[in-house]
């Protein structure tokens, strides 16, 4: 069974490095420039005593596409990943559920993320949708250097 708890960002760096950013020099480099920003929330999915899944949440408007979620309290989900040997065991879902519970308690209205192509199905199963313009046309996919194809996704809380 997976426990999810709030932790300091440093607890997440080994999993971030292994799952998300193996192209970096070391786990010490698996830091986000806003990890210590006020309001940041860092979650660890734990099985036994091992941190096996991670995610960070930041009070951050979407600046990639103008006009999304104007006037709403939004948080961004970043650096979410689960170690390969425990994927498809509910770790990711447990982290998303805990994130949603925490954010709802703070009256957050929307959670959004830049989702990797390999995770689109996961996020859809967790209630996320691709962002679309006012006419309903989905946002274009974009490439993040060293990482790959992404699309912006969101979930109303």
Residue with tokens 């999304």: 68
- Which tens digits make up the pLDDT trace of 113-125? 999 999 999 999 9
Confidence of residue 99 (pLDDT cuts 50, 70, 90): very high
Confidence of residue 134 (pLDDT cuts 50, 70, 90): low
Domain residue extents for the chain: 3-156
- The answer to whether residue 66 scores a pLDDT higher than 80 is no
CATH C-level class of 3-156: alpha beta
- Which tens digits make up the pLDDT trace of 2-28? 999 999 999 999 999 999 999 999 999
Burial class (CB in 10 A: 0-12, 13-18, 19+), 113: buried
What phi and psi values does residue 34 have, to the nearest 5 degrees? -110, 20
What distance lies between CA 144 and its chain's CA centroid?
A: 15
Which parts of the chain fold into alpha helices (H)?
13-15, 91-105, 120-125
Calpha distance 157→153 (Å, rounded): 13
- Which tens digits make up the pLDDT trace of 20-64? 999 999 999 999 999 999 999 999 999 999 999 999 999 988 776
pLDDT of residue 62: 76
> Exposed e or buried b for every residue in 22-60, given b needs 16+ CB within 10 A?
eeeeebeebbbebbeeeebbbbbbbbeeebbbbbbbbbb
- Which tens digits make up the pLDDT trace of 78-90? 999 999 999 999 9
- Whether the pTM exceeds 0.75: the reply is yes
């Amino acid at each position: 069974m997976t426990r999810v708890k709030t932790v300091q960002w440093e607890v997440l760096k080994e999993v971030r490095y292994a799952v998300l950013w193996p192209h970096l020099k070391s786990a010490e480099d698996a830091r986000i420039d806003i990890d210590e920003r006020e309001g940041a929330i860092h979650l660890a999915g734990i099985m036994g005593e091992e941190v096996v899944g991670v995610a960070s949440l930041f009070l951050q408007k979407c600046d990639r596409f103008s006009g999304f979620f104007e006037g709403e309290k939004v948080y961004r989900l970043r650096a979410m990943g689960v170690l390969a040997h425990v994927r498809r065991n509910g770790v990711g879902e447990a982290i998303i559920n805990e994130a949603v519970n925490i954010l709802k308690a703070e009256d957050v209205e929307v959670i959004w993320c830049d989702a990797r192509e390999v995770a689109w199905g996961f996020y859809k199963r967790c209630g996320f949708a691709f962002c679309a313009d006012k006419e309903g046309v989905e946002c274009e996919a974009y490439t993040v250097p060293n990482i790959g194809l992404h699309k912006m996704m969101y979930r109303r809380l």
